[in-house]
Each structure stands twice: as structure tokens, then as C-alpha cells.
């Protein structure tokens, strides 16, 4: 079905799925070609909303056969690593804005055999994450203020993607660190992010909210094949 580069991945954000019917939505996302799942954890402090945590994930985990990213939008991310590690996840992504001792947290995640992602909000400069780039597997660039699904893509983040892409190239670690984007990713913004250098496209409302999951995923994949 797909002839897009295998380096480009679509990650389905479970937060935007139908909570009355999570099993069906998770199955559809897998069957119709998503490459990953993205699980948003919000604590009501780092972001105003409260979403879901390890207890919910535990009940969903046996439905999920794809790689799973935990996106921690919480203060004190350090204290949440163990419970997700115990469930078995592939990558834990924390926000630089929420973390006092990033190296300690990165080492803790790595010690569990889990990949590390570092996230930044739209207004946070790339400089804030610069010194950790050699230590992480992924940078998650937020394209909206973190907090909920269905927000509008912030065009200004395109410059951050380009800046990060160039920085990784100049450090010879471009093939070691993925650039992921999260928030407002639809058939239009996904092309802009791809052209700027992103490889992983987290999408919630564009997959789950309207129409059917199959057509929505196909349309995102088709956009990845198109030129701008």
C-alpha cells in the first residue's frame, strides 16, 4: 500500500481516539497502516488537563502490537518512569520545560532499556535541548501548546524543525536522532513538516475524529508522498 520512505512514520495519538471504543480504534489504526502509537500523559500541573496514566495503559497494552511512545506532559517526569517501564513501552519522551535534571532522567530511562525522547514546546528554543542531543533517540517538537487534541498547527515551528535538522547534520548525528512532530498534524501540515526534516508524525484528531480511520490514514500517507 505504501511506497513512502520507511524512515517516515505515522504515530496515532490515542488521546484523540473514541474512549467508548478504544479497542476498535486501536485495531483500526494498526490494520490500516499506522507505524506507532503515542500515549499522552497529562497531570493537570504541567498542562491544565488530566488525561490517562499507567492504569489505563495496562488495560490497553495487550491490544497494542506496534511500538509505543509515552509522552509525559507532567511535572517531575522522573517519578513516572518506573510504572511505564514495568508495563513495557518502547520510548519515553519528557518535556525539557518540566525537567530539572535532564541527565539524571535520561540515564534512568536508558537504564530500563527504553529509548529516550526529549520534547519542547513551540516557544522553547532549540538551544534548551542542544546539550542533550547526543543522549536521546528522538526530539519531539510540539506544534501546538501541549494539552489537548484538535488544535491548529503553529506554522512557526517549521523553522525549529529546519534548525534542528541542520544542527543534527552538523553534529553528524542526523541518523541517530529522529525528529518527531506532535499537534495539529493533518494532510497539509504533514507535508510542511516532512519538507522541513521531520520523520515521525504524531496525529490524533486527523486520524480519529471525523470520517473513517482507514481513509484518514491513507490521506496522511498520500500527503507524505506529495511534494509541497
Q: Which residues are catalytic?
A: 40, 182
Among 68, 185, 190, 213, binds ligand DX5 (CB under 6 A): 185
Asked whether the beta carbons of 160 and 140 are under 8 A apart, the reply is no
Q: What is the DSSP letter of 103?
A: H
With CB atoms as reference, the residue minimizing the distance to ligand DX5 is 204
- Which contiguous run of DSSP H or E holds residue 169? helix 157-170
Asked whether the beta carbons of 132 and 99 are under 8 A apart, the reply is no
Which segment (28-36, 129-137, 159-167, 176-184) binds ligand DX5 by CB under 6 A? 176-184
182 binds Zn ion (CB under 5 A): yes
Q: Which is nearer to ligand DX5, 56 or 174 (CB)?
A: 56
Partnered with residue 94 across adjacent β-strands are: 72, 118
- Which set of grid coordinates corresponds to residue 76? 517531575
Residues 144-173 that bind ligand DX5 (CB under 6 A): 144, 146-151
36 binds ligand DX5 (CB under 6 A): no
69 binds Zn ion (CB under 5 A): no
Which segment (75-83, 87-95, 177-185, 187-195) binds Zn ion by CB under 5 A? 177-185
Which of the choices Zn ion, ligand DX5, none does residue 16 contact, using the CB cut-off of 5 to 8 A by kind? ligand DX5
Q: Which is nearer to Zn ion, 106 or 181 (CB)?
A: 181
Q: Which positions from 131 to 160 touch Zn ion by CB under 5 A, shown as an x/- string? A: ------------------------------
Give the Å distances, CA to CA, from 62 to 59, 87, 97, 220: 7, 10, 32, 26
Other beta carbons within 10 angstroms of residue 197's beta carbon come to 19
71 binds Zn ion (CB under 5 A): yes
- Which contiguous run of DSSP H or E holds residue 165? helix 157-170
Which of the choices Zn ion, ligand DX5, none does residue 93 contact, using the CB cut-off of 5 to 8 A by kind? none
Q: Which is nearer to ligand DX5, 143 or 167 (CB)?
A: 143
Asked whether the beta carbons of 26 and 17 are under 8 A apart, the reply is yes
- Which set of grid coordinates corresponds to residue 134? 547526543
- Which set of grid coordinates corresponds to residue 6? 520507511
Residues near 184 by beta carbon (within 8 Å), at least 6 away in sequence: 143, 144, 151, 152, 153, 154
Among 28, 40, 69, 75, binds Zn ion (CB under 5 A): 40
Number of residues that bind Zn ion (CB under 5 A): 3
* Positions in the binding site for ligand DX5 (CB under 6 A): 13, 15-16, 38, 40, 71, 144, 146-151, 182-185, 202-206
Amino acid at each position: 500500500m505504501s511506497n513512502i520512505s520507511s524512515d517516515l512514520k505515522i504515530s496515532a495519538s490515542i488521546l484523540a481516539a473514541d474512549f467508548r471504543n478504544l479497542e476498535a480504534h486501536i485495531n483500526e489504526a494498526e490494520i490500516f497502516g499506522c507505524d506507532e502509537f503515542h500515549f499522552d500523559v497529562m497531570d493537570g500541573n504541567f498542562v491544565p488537563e488530566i488525561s490517562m496514566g499507567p492504569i489505563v495503559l495496562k488495560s490497553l497494552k495487550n491490544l497494542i502490537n506496534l511500538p509505543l511512545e509515552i509522552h509525559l506532559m507532567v511535572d517531575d517526569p522522573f517519578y513516572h518512569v518506573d510504572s511505564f517501564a514495568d508495563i513495557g513501552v518502547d520510548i519515553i519522551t519528557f518535556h525539557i520545560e518540566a525537567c530539572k535534571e535532564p541527565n539524571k532522567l535520561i540515564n534512568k530511562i536508558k537504564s530500563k532499556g527504553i529509548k529516550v525522547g526529549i520534547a519542547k514546546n513551540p516557544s522553547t528554543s532549540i538551544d534548551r535541548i542542544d546539550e542533550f542531543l547526543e543522549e536521546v533517540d528522538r526530539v519531539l517538537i510540539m506544534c501546538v501548546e501541549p494539552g489537548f487534541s484538535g488544535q491548529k498547527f503553529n506554522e512557526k515551528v517549521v523553522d525549529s524543525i529546519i534548525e534542528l535538522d541542520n544542527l543534527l547534520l552538523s553534529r553528524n548525528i542526523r541518523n541517530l536522532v529522529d525528529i518527531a512532530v506532535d499537534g495539529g498534524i493533518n494532510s497539509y501540515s504533514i507535508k510542511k513538516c516532512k519538507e522541513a526534516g521531520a520523520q515521525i508524525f504524531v496525529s490524533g484528531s486527523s486520524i480519529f475524529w471525523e470520517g473513517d480511520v482507514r481513509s484518514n490514514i491513507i490521506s496522511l500517507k498520500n500527503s507524505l508522498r506529495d511534494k509541497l
